[in-house]
Amino acid sequence: MSTTTEAPTRRGRPTNPGERVAEWTDGRLGLYKLAKSNLRKVFPDHWSFMLGEVCLYSFVILILTGVYLTLFFHPSMNEVVYNGPYAPLDGVRMSEAYASTMHISFEVRGGLLVRQIHHWAALIFIAAMIVHMMRVFFTGAFRKPRELNWLFGWTLLFLGMFTGFTGYSLPDDLLSGTGVRFMEGAVLSTPIVGTYLSMFLFGGEFPGHDFVGRFYSVHILLLPGLMAGLLVAHLILVFFHKHTQFPGAGKTEKNVVGTPLLPIYTAKAGGFFFLVFGVIAAIAAIATINPIWTMGPYRPDQVSTGAQPDWYMGFSEGLIRVMPGWEIRAWGHTLVLGVFIPLMIFPLVMVAIAVYPFIESWVTGDKSEHHLLDRPRNRPVRTGFGVAWLTLYFVLLIGGGNDLWATHFHLSINAITWFVRVSFFVAPVITFWITKRICLGLQRRDRDKVLHGRESGIIKRLPHGEFIEVHEPLSQQQLHVLTAHAQPQPLDLGPEVDENGVERKVSPVAKVQARLSRGFYGENSQIPKPTVEEYEEITSGHGHH
């Protein structure tokens, strides 16, 4: 800030009123220096780099519409009798939370549209976070120096799931009440402290009078506050680290190739905000979401089939649905393994993906900085792991919707449950293996393309009668893309014996590390890319074969 005080004397007193306002503001806020260094910041252009923007914009839409909804929502469990315009609920007793949501849906101007925008935006927000996370995962953008930002993003996803869940619970309709009951059951299954925790959460017996008010505070204050903070930190780190880029000619670990923040990138990103808002608003105007009027108010003695959580909690529903109903009774207590085991696996599914960057960096011993992205095929083990995780996630989603799979595909629900139970263990292994093989196949293809060129589809007959297909050599840019990646070698434990012939002591941890490292970068996990010598030998005049 101090540096700007000299400016008027150096350049003279500005005459233009606009300039004067700018001077005045800059002298007090020091915006010029901040802007100068940041407005020309370069961002690379790729559609997959805009997935994070989809998350950011849907978060903004959630806040805007959420504020509107708080103006009319009453987070109260007081019982009232409904006398609103929706006839099939006329005279039904319900909580004030449900009645006010009915009021928003049927009487508040634009209320239903805003409610639907809010809910659709929530589903899309979390879906976009998953896809964004997968983009970062498969391209290796989580590597040093971005591990912390990966954790920030993962925490945003985790918090987003619970923000969504608490929001889903607020209207106190039969569906959301069933979801809260589900959660209460999970809490109760915690050994020893389960009942105390439940009593503490609900202020007494379920459902009690407190939970809507409490969930409301958590939903509109605590979780969004935490998320906003993390989001800012996430963006600051993106700025600080600079954005990653795909490999290509002219792109190195030391530069960023793209468009500057102002004016092009800002115009595109700003325009993209309105596109995102437009798509979500159009969907909200076209399609119903969470039609609480069809569900009726929550009463603990009622339940409906098709009672599922929103999709992002679907995998926890699947865990519960396919888990056998085991329980242990001892010393007058019951340990409900049928619920407690899924409750333990639920965070593990999420944590498995969260800790992956640290595991990979430990296994491969890679501690260097990376700003160029990996092509997923060049890291078969990582890609395989990602696909295996997605498979596990999707298998659990099938379990969570087993009743709808049964009715819509005319299957037995028991068969689906068994399919999910077996697939939970088997499918990730199979998809890991298949993905790894596909990656290796693609690497072989890349190698062939580099050495022999692109298959042109032109068949040529040689004078002596032989038919050959003409291969076109790749351009330098294409060759660069296919060969720029590093091919690390597995960790080497060194010789088994030292110079005196005595067996060296190697810790078992190091042995495990070396074995895993061979799994990552050994002969079976990557195809050696063509060397310069190979390329020159094959292109040096022997021509096509």
Partner 1 sequence: MKKLSARRRHPLAALVVLLFALAATGGLYAVLAPAPKAQADASQSSLAIEQGKKLYSVGCASCHGQSGQGSSNGPSLVGVGSAAVDFQVSTGRMPAKQPGPQVEAKKNTYGQKEIDQLAAYVASLGPGPATPTKSQYSPANADAAKGGELFRTNCSQCHNFVGKGGALTEGKFAPTLKGIKAKDVYEAMQTGPQNMPSFPDSTMPSDAKANIIAYLKAVDSAQSPNPGGFTLGTIGPVSEGLFAWVFGLGALIALATWVAARTTKAKKS
Residue (of 210, 125, 202, 122) closest to 168 by Cα position:
122
Minimum Å gap between C-beta 354 and partner 1 is: 22
Residue 492, judged by CB atoms within 10 A of its CB (0-12, 13-18, 19+), counts as exposed
In the complex with partner 1, the residue whose CB is nearer, 131 or 484, is 131
Smallest gap from Cβ 256 to partner 1, in A, equals 15
As a whole number of angstroms, the distance between CA 255 and CA 236 comes to: 19
Query: What is the footprint of partner 1 within residues 309-348 (CB under 8 A)?
Result: 309-312, 314
Query: How near is the Cβ of 262 to partner 1 at its closest, in Å?
Result: 13
Closer residue to partner 1 in complex, CB, 54/336: 54
Residue closer to partner 1 by CB (options 179, 380) is 179
Residue 131 engages partner 1 in binding (rule: CB under 8 A): yes
- If you count them, how many residues does the chain have? 545
Helix or strand holding residue 472 (H, E): strand 467-472
Q: Do the Cβ atoms of 529 and 440 come closer than 8 Å?
A: no
- Picking from 181, 201, 478, 217, the residue whose alpha carbon sits closest to that of residue 304 is 181
Question: Is position 109 an interface residue for partner 1 (rule: CB under 8 A)?
Answer: no
Residues forming beta bridges with residue 260, ordered by sequence position: 42
Q: Which is nearer to partner 1, 31 or 307 (CB)?
A: 307
Q: Does 362 bind partner 1 (CB under 8 A)?
A: no
Least distance from partner 1 to the Cβ atom of residue 20, Å: 34
Nearer Cβ to partner 1 (99/363): 99
Which residue, chain included where needed, has tokens 């990996």?
Answer: 374
Question: Binder to partner 1 among 12, 91, 495, 543 (CB under 8 A)?
Answer: 91
Q: How far is the CB of 102 from partner 1 (least distance, A)?
A: 11
**Rule CB under 8 A: is residue 463 a binding residue for partner 1?**
no
Q: Minimum Å distance from CB 305 to partner 1?
A: 3
Q: How far is the CB of 90 from partner 1 (least distance, A)?
A: 5
Binding mask 166-185 for partner 1 (x = CB under 8 A): --------xx----------
Give the range of 118-126, 351-359, 371-379, 426-434 binding partner 1 by CB under 8 A.
Answer: 118-126
Among the listed ranges 85-93, 192-200, 365-373, 485-493, the one in contact with partner 1 (CB under 8 A) is 85-93
Is the Cβ of residue 131 or residue 238 nearer to partner 1 in the bound state?
131
Task: Please list, in sequence order, all residues whose beta carbon lies within 8 angstroms of the beta carbon of residue 412, skipping any fewer than 6 positions away.
Answer: 406
Tell which positions 21-60 bind partner 1, by CB under 8 A.
45-51, 53-54
DSSP conformational letter for 485: S
In the complex, least distance from residue 235 CB atom to partner 1, rounded to whole angstroms: 18
Cα 282 off chain centre by? 24
For residues 467-526, which are near partner 1 according to CB under 8 A? none
Helix extents (H) in 139-222: 147-169, 174-188, 194-202, 211-217
**105 is an interface residue for partner 1 by CB under 8 A:** yes
Residue in the structure block whose two tokens are 């007959």: 461
Q: Give 106: exposed, middle or buried? Use CB within 10 Å, 0-12, 13-18, 19+.
A: middle
> Strand, coil or helix: what is 380?
helix
Residues 6+ apart with CB under 8 A from 161: 126, 312, 313
Pairing of strands 259-260, 467-472: unpaired
Residue placing its CB nearer to partner 1 in the complex, 72 or 293: 293
Token couple for 392: 């596990």
Query: Using CB under 8 A, which residues numbered 284 to 303 contact partner 1?
Result: 285-291, 293-296, 299, 301-303
State the minimum distance, in angstroms, from the CB of residue 129 to partner 1: 11
Among 100, 116, 190, 435, binds partner 1 (CB under 8 A): 116
The helix (run of H) or strand (run of E) holding residue 44 is none
d(C-alpha 208, C-alpha 202), whole Å: 6
Neighbours of 232 (CB within 10 A): 11
Total binding residues toward partner 1, as defined by CB under 8 A? 75
By the rule CB under 8 A, 120 interacts with partner 1: yes
Site for partner 1 in 376-415 (CB under 8 A): 400-404, 406-407, 410-415
Task: Tell me phi and psi for residue 467, to 5 degrees.
Answer: -100, 135
Q: Does 262 contact partner 1 by CB under 8 A?
A: no
